[in-house]
Amino acid sequence: MTSAQLDRADKASWVAVYSASAVAIGHVAVHTLRAVTFPFPLDYGEGPLLGQARALALGQSIYRADLGDYPFTIANYPPLYPALLALAAKAFGLSCVTARSITLAAVIACASLVAALVYTVTRDRRASFVGGVLFLASPYVVFWASLARVDFVALAFALGAL
The predicted model scores a pTM of 0.85
71 or 40, which is more confident: 40
Task: Report the pLDDT value the prediction gives residue 39, as an integer from 0 to 100.
Answer: 84
| Structure confidence at residue 158 as a pLDDT band (50, 70, 90) | very high
Q: Which residue has the higher pLDDT, 50 or 8?
A: 50
User: pLDDT of 61-86, one tens digit each?
Assistant: 888 777 677 766 677 788 899 999 99
Question: Binning pLDDT at 50, 70 and 90, where does residue 46 land?
Answer: confident
Angle at 103 (CA atoms; ends 101, 104), nearest 5 degrees = 60
pLDDT at 6: 63
How much is the CA Rg of the chain, to the nearest whole Å?
Answer: 20
8 A C-beta contact, residue 62 and residue 82: yes
Cβ–Cβ < 8 Å for 32, 137: no
